[in-house]
Structure 1
Amino acid sequence: MTDTTEHNTAPAWIRVRGLEKSFGERHVLRGIDFESRRGTSTVLLGPSGSGKTTVLRSLNALDIPERGVVGIADVEVDFARLPRGRAGRREATGLRAQSGMVFQSHNLFPHRTVLENIIEGPVVAQQRPRDEAVAAARTLLEQVGLGDRADAYPFQLSGGQQQRVGIARALALKPQVVLFDEPTSALDPELVGEVLAVIKDLATQDWTMVIVTHEIRFAQQVADQVLFLDDGAIVERGPADQVIGDPREDRTRRFLKRILDTG
């Protein structure tokens, strides 16, 4: 968790106002509003179907809300005014370029080595020199504890190692924000800790992160801000010690009790 004192007066790095999103007749997001400061970690908690992943995908413009504004750093998109066609796709792509996404499943290219997976985005999408991308990728692999696996293929790695490569791949894009969508949900329990340790380390390095997770103890350790969602709305928000340690809302208390009792 970052010491946020120096961020209190800084302008918000992530700005979300009035997000509304439906899938058919199902209203998934109902006026989501929040801000995050640069170098802080925001954790989204809530039951399945509460809208957490849709919020995350909206930040990355993988899902396009009907209404609302998302701003990251100096890029901002008003989805209600998003043009149709090429101009709208260009705006969405500009927003997407601000973040790196770590999915529930690592989604690595199976026919490419670890190193090739990591440099794909920087070289192909960002047109960075290959030598520069390779050097940065090797540094990132050391950071996630896989410095000796650059030439391995995904099938030669454990699930936890593959997810750590996924984290390195997201960081290789040099994003303004890193988005984690339940990064340990697909892992065997004994592999969860190695992935969470990497994310905790990132939280000490001034990365700005938004994390969807059911790992409550981890959230308590890493979050500067916790948002508890239910039925597409933010029910409770605040510091981790308050929302997790002493929640004000009955819905939050019931959710945490169920998760912690199950754990």
Structure 2
Amino acid sequence: MSPTDDSGDALAPPAPGDDRPLLHVRGLTKSFGANTVLHGVDFEVRRGEVVALIGPSGSGKTTVLRSLNGLETPEAGVLSFEGGPEIDFAKPVTKGDRLALRDRSAMVFQHHNLFPHRTVLQNVIEGPVYAHKVPKAEAIARAEALLERVGLSEKRDAYPFELSGGQQQRVGIVRALALQPSLLLFDEPTSALDSELVGEVLLVLKELAEEGWTMVIVTHELAFARQVADEVLFFDDGVILERGAPKDLFTAPKNERTRRFIDRILRPFDG
């Protein structure tokens, strides 16, 4: 797996394989105490595909994302990447299982989660150097190329407190890309930003989609999801209530609950 093309472009996505799904999720079930937040969730993601998870708060979207990255442990279900790993959550999940998931995926959080005492460059090279044992010089070269691509090369030596929220989130995206993942996971990447900063982050995500990165995005930006996603999954109360191509799901949803949600978000002033 290498996200560099023949020209050494550090922001190029992993080369596409055949048409088999990169990721299978089957029967994912998760509870917190007496509250079941996922009820047997099934979906798949193909290489180069963008899948958007939408739905009301508390519907299970973020729990799915965290399960894909090994941050949550479901009680049941099977998660398998093409070429491995395959994890059956009905069996004990080992540290090696979690590390295998994190070798295949990288997550961008709502609130950036940058190390405040480290510079932008230090934040970006942390994972490649210490988790993936990439030589430091190589990690720095990769980080500098990525920072240049998202317009932040001049901020390499700045600390997070010196950046705007949008810049911090772009550093978070670069930090994920520097790990050379097969799958990028985004958890409401614009929800913590002021409205004027949302566009700069969405532009980066749109460019990544156009370049062929495989992504699963939890988002409340439905207009953005309609523009970039290949498939949209509408979650409600821990299940996928409806799924489909954006042109179908956003214009003619089959489920009344889906229609009400979309109308409330996209057309709040109609009528």
- Secondary structure of the residue that 2:65 maps to in structure 1? helix
* Alpha-carbon separation, structure 2, partners of 1:197 and 1:258: 24
Q: Determine if contact 1:76/1:95 at 8 Å carries over to the other structure.
A: no
- Secondary structure of the residue that 2:100 maps to in structure 1? helix
Percent identity, please.
Answer: 61
1:150 corresponds in structure 2 to 156
* Alpha-carbon separation, structure 2, partners of 1:119 and 1:248: 46
2:179 to 144, 166, 173: 173
What is the correspondence of 1:18-167 to structure 2 with a 5 Å cutoff? 18-74=27-83, 75-83=85-93, 88-167=94-173
- Secondary structure of the residue that 1:187 maps to in structure 2? coil
1:12 to 21, 24, 38: 21
1:224 corresponds in structure 2 to 230
Structure 1 stretch displaced more, 252-261 or 48-57: 252-261
Give the alignment's TM-score, normalised by structure 2.
0.91
Q: Determine if contact 1:77/1:95 at 8 Å carries over to the other structure.
A: no
Q: Determine if contact 2:106/2:185 at 8 Å carries over to the other structure.
A: yes
Structure 1 stretch displaced more, 9-18 or 151-160: 9-18
* Alpha-carbon separation, structure 1, partners of 2:114 and 2:45: 29
Displacement of 1:9 in angstroms is 6.8
- Secondary structure of the residue that 1:148 maps to in structure 2? helix
Kindly report the root-mean-square deviation, in angstroms, between the aligned alpha carbons of the 2 structures: 1.4
Displacement of 1:262 in angstroms is 4.4
- State the 4+ residue runs in structure 1 displaced beyond 6 angstroms: none
- Secondary structure of the residue that 1:48 maps to in structure 2? coil
Q: Are 1:241 and 2:247 counterparts?
A: yes
- Taking structure 1 as reference, are residues 251 and 97 closer, same or farther at Cα in structure 2, changes over 3 Å only? same
**Residue identity in the other structure for 1:51:** G
- 5+ residue gaps, structure 2: 1-15
- Secondary structure of the residue that 1:10 maps to in structure 2? coil
- Secondary structure of the residue that 2:220 maps to in structure 1? coil
* Alpha-carbon separation, structure 2, partners of 1:231 and 1:101: 23
Q: Deviations over 1:75-117 (max 9, x none)?
A: 211111235xxxx121122112211100000011111110010
Give the alignment's TM-score, normalised by structure 1.
0.93
Q: Determine if contact 2:17/2:47 at 8 Å carries over to the other structure.
A: no
Q: Determine if contact 1:28/1:232 at 8 Å carries over to the other structure.
A: yes
- Taking structure 1 as reference, are residues 43 and 156 closer, same or farther at Cα in structure 2, changes over 3 Å only? same
Q: Deviations over 1:152-200 (max 9, x none)?
A: 1111110000000000000000001000000000000000000000000
**Residue identity in the other structure for 1:259:** I
